[in-house]
Structure 1
Amino acid sequence: MPEHDVISRVPKGVLVNGRSRPAARGGTLVVEDPATGEPLCEVADGTPEDGMAALEAAVAAQESWAATPPRRRGEVLRRAHDLLVERAEEFALLITLEMGKSLAESRAEVEYGANYLRWFGEEAVRIDGSWKVGEDGTARVLVTRQPVGPCLLITPWNAPLAMPARKIGPAVAAGCTMVVKPAPQTPLTTLALAELLGEAGLPDGVLNVVPTSRAAEVTEPLLRDGRLRKLSFTGSTPVGRLLLAQAAGTVLRTSMELGGNAPFIVCDDADLDAAVDGAMIAKLRNIGEACVAANRFLVHADVAEEFSEKLVARMGELTVGAGTDPACDLGPLIDQRQRRRVADLVDDTVVAGGRLRAGGVLPAGRGYFYPPTVLTDVPEGCRITEEEIFGPVAAIRTFTTEAEALRAANDTEFGLVGYLYTRDLDRALRMSERLETGMVGLNRGYVSDPSAPFGGVKQSGIGREGGDSGIDEYLEQKYVAVNVATGGAR
Structure 2
Amino acid sequence: MTTDIFIDNQWIAGADGTFDVVDPATGEAIRPVSNGGTADARAAVDAAAGALVSWRNVAPRERGEILRRTFELMIRDCDELGELIAAENGKSLIDAKGEVTYSAEFFRWFAEEGVRMGGDYGTAPAGGTRTVVTHHPVGVAALVTPWNFPAAMAARKIAPALAAGCTVVLKPASETPLTAFAMAKLMVEAGVPAGVVNIVPSKSASKIVGAWMEDPRVRLISFTGSTGIGQMLLKQAADRVINSAMELGGNAPFIVTEDADIDEAVAGAMIAKFRGGGQACTAANRLYVHAEVAAEFTAKLGAKVEALTVGQASEGSDIGPLINAAAVDKTQKLLDGAIEAGARVAHQAPIPAGSKGFYFPPTVLVDVPADAEIVREEIFGPIAPIVTWTSDEEVIALANDTEMGLAAYLYAGELQRAIRLGESIEAGMVGINRGLVSDPAAPFGGMKQSGIGREGARVGLEEFQETQYLSIAWPN
TM-score strictly above 0.5: yes
Partner of 1:332: 321
Cα displacement string for residues 404-463 of structure 1 (whole angstroms, at most 9, x for unaligned residues): 000000000000011011111221121111100000000110111111111100000011
Cα displacement string for residues 258-292 of structure 1 (whole angstroms, at most 9, x for unaligned residues): 00000000011111111000000000111110000
What letter corresponds to residue 15 of structure 1 in structure 2? F
Partner of 1:261: 251
Cα displacement string for residues 279-322 of structure 1 (whole angstroms, at most 9, x for unaligned residues): 00000111110000000101111111111111110101110010
The runs of 5 or more residues in structure 2 that have no matched partner are: none
Partner of 2:462: 472
Report matched runs for 1:81-480 at 5 Å: 81-326=71-316, 328-359=317-348, 364-480=354-470
Partner of 1:4: none
Once residues 394 and 183 of structure 2 are traced to their aligned partners in structure 1, the CA distance between those partners, rounded to angstroms, is 46
**Would the aligned equivalents of 2:45 and 2:212 in 1 still touch at CA under 8 Å?**
yes
Q: What secondary structure, in the 3-state scheme, does the structure 2 residue paired with 1:477 have?
A: strand
Once residues 172 and 289 of structure 1 are traced to their aligned partners in structure 2, the CA distance between those partners, rounded to angstroms, is 28
Q: What secondary structure, in the 3-state scheme, does the structure 2 residue paired with 1:125 have?
A: coil
What letter corresponds to residue 88 of structure 2 in structure 1? E
Once residues 203 and 384 of structure 1 are traced to their aligned partners in structure 2, the CA distance between those partners, rounded to angstroms, is 47
TM-aligned CA distance change 1:360 to 1:314, over 3 Å: closer
**Would the aligned equivalents of 1:323 and 1:332 in 2 still touch at CA under 8 Å?**
no
Post-superposition offset of 1:226? 1.5
Once residues 365 and 347 of structure 1 are traced to their aligned partners in structure 2, the CA distance between those partners, rounded to angstroms, is 22
Q: What secondary structure, in the 3-state scheme, does the structure 1 residue paired with 2:88 have?
A: helix
Partner of 1:16: 7
Partner of 1:485: 475
TM-aligned CA distance change 1:360 to 1:385, over 3 Å: farther
What letter corresponds to residue 10 of structure 2 in structure 1? R
Q: What secondary structure, in the 3-state scheme, does the structure 2 residue paired with 1:59 have?
A: helix
Q: What RMSD in Å do the two structures reach over aligned CA positions?
A: 1.0
What letter corresponds to residue 249 of structure 1 in structure 2? D
Once residues 314 and 143 of structure 2 are traced to their aligned partners in structure 1, the CA distance between those partners, rounded to angstroms, is 29
**Would the aligned equivalents of 2:306 and 2:350 in 1 still touch at CA under 8 Å?**
no
**Would the aligned equivalents of 2:305 and 2:349 in 1 still touch at CA under 8 Å?**
no
Q: What secondary structure, in the 3-state scheme, does the structure 2 residue paired with 1:137 have?
A: coil
Once residues 139 and 450 of structure 2 are traced to their aligned partners in structure 1, the CA distance between those partners, rounded to angstroms, is 25
Cα displacement string for residues 456-483 of structure 1 (whole angstroms, at most 9, x for unaligned residues): 0000001111112110000111010010
**Would the aligned equivalents of 2:370 and 2:398 in 1 still touch at CA under 8 Å?**
no
Once residues 263 and 144 of structure 2 are traced to their aligned partners in structure 1, the CA distance between those partners, rounded to angstroms, is 39
Once residues 460 and 207 of structure 2 are traced to their aligned partners in structure 1, the CA distance between those partners, rounded to angstroms, is 29
What letter corresponds to residue 424 of structure 2 in structure 1? R
What letter corresponds to residue 444 of structure 2 in structure 1? F
**Would the aligned equivalents of 1:102 and 1:325 in 2 still touch at CA under 8 Å?**
no
Once residues 345 and 145 of structure 1 are traced to their aligned partners in structure 2, the CA distance between those partners, rounded to angstroms, is 47
Q: What secondary structure, in the 3-state scheme, does the structure 2 residue paired with 1:408 have?
A: helix
**Would the aligned equivalents of 2:255 and 2:287 in 1 still touch at CA under 8 Å?**
yes
**Would the aligned equivalents of 1:297 and 1:397 in 2 still touch at CA under 8 Å?**
yes
Once residues 112 and 8 of structure 2 are traced to their aligned partners in structure 1, the CA distance between those partners, rounded to angstroms, is 26
Post-superposition offset of 1:333? 0.7
Runs of 4+ residues deviating >4 angstroms:
360-363
Q: What secondary structure, in the 3-state scheme, does the structure 2 residue paired with 1:230 have?
A: strand
What letter corresponds to residue 346 of structure 1 in structure 2? L
Once residues 276 and 44 of structure 1 are traced to their aligned partners in structure 2, the CA distance between those partners, rounded to angstroms, is 44
After TM superposition, the structure 1 stretch with the greater mean CA deviation from structure 2, 284-293 or 378-387, is 378-387
Post-superposition offset of 1:352? 1.2
Partner of 1:52: 42
What letter corresponds to residue 199 of structure 2 in structure 1? V
Q: Percent identity?
A: 49
Report matched runs for 1:51-70 at 5 Å: 51-70=41-60
Q: What secondary structure, in the 3-state scheme, does the structure 2 residue paired with 1:469 have?
A: helix
What letter corresponds to residue 300 of structure 1 in structure 2? H
**Would the aligned equivalents of 1:266 and 1:421 in 2 still touch at CA under 8 Å?**
yes
**Would the aligned equivalents of 1:31 and 1:41 in 2 still touch at CA under 8 Å?**
yes
**Would the aligned equivalents of 2:310 and 2:350 in 1 still touch at CA under 8 Å?**
no
Post-superposition offset of 1:360? 8.1
Q: What secondary structure, in the 3-state scheme, does the structure 2 residue paired with 1:111 have?
A: helix
Q: What secondary structure, in the 3-state scheme, does the structure 2 residue paired with 1:145 have?
A: strand
Post-superposition offset of 1:361? 7.7
**Would the aligned equivalents of 2:306 and 2:349 in 1 still touch at CA under 8 Å?**
no
Once residues 458 and 466 of structure 2 are traced to their aligned partners in structure 1, the CA distance between those partners, rounded to angstroms, is 15
